[in-house]
Structure formats: C-alpha cells, structure tokens
Amino acid sequence: MKTTILTLASALVLTSLASAAPPKPVDVSKLPPPSSKADVTYAQDIQPIFQKSCYECHGPKKAKGKLRLDSLPGVLKGSEDGKIVKPGDSAKSVLVHAVALPVKKAMPPKDKGAKLSTEQVSLLRAWIDQGAK
C-alpha cells in the first residue's frame, strides 16, 4: 500500500512538472548597455538608486519576497526565490531583467514609483559586470 501511494504521489509531481510551461527566455538584446564608468561601487553608486526607487518594498522597514536592497550582503543574498545578481554577468542577473525589461515581476511596480532610467540600469549593469562589490 505504501509503495502504491508513493508511486502515485511521484507520478503526480512529475506530471505537474512536465505540464508546467517553461519560462520565456529573456531577450537581453533589449537591455541598455553597461555604463563605461570604472570602479562602480554599491555604496557610492548603486545604494542611492535603490534607496530612491526600491527601499519602500525592499528596505529596512519591509522586505517583500525576503529581498533586502539596503545592504550589499542583502543584495547578494537574494530573495526567497534565489539569487538576483550574478556577479560578472549582468545580462543573466534577474535584478537587471526586473528593472529594465517588461517581465512578469517588473520593478518597481507601476503604482510604487518611477522605473529606473536607462542611465541607472546601465550603471547597475556595470556594477554587476565589475563583480558587484
């Protein structure tokens, strides 16, 4: 009886995984290019952007999705869904996709403020490409 229940449960899990639609690939050609600025740092360049646009939902008072953007360790830790920054590869960083492209979880949401400017996204990309330090 136990084997039958386990087999049935396994079949249900596999069926649900197989029927789930794979996520749409992100068109990274639509991303603004990284900034040419050298030595981009979290404290000097990126934190002020996050403070202005992201802290309301991902800061010291609130951490939606368990994501904190008010500290470098918080950014590098990621969210309840996993890492959001791939140091050295901004084009594969979920954070860049969320702030720059029309994806399902675009940030910030329309009702929470202005989207990041092209220049801000370019600076974010440069920071990540330079190692996210």
pLDDT recorded at residue 9: 41
Which amino acid, one-letter code, is at 16? S
pLDDT digits (tens, 9 = 90+) for 38-59: 999 999 999 999 999 898 899 9
Rounded Cα gap, residues 90 and 129, in angstroms = 6
CA 82 to chain centre: 9
Domain extent listing, the chain: 32-129
CA 114 to chain centre: 17
Check residue 103 and give its pLDDT.
Answer: 62
Element (H, E) at 7: helix 2-19
Which of 13-17, 86-90, 106-110 ranks highest by mean pLDDT? Answer: 86-90
CA distances from 72 to 32, 82, 98, 113 (A): 23, 15, 18, 22
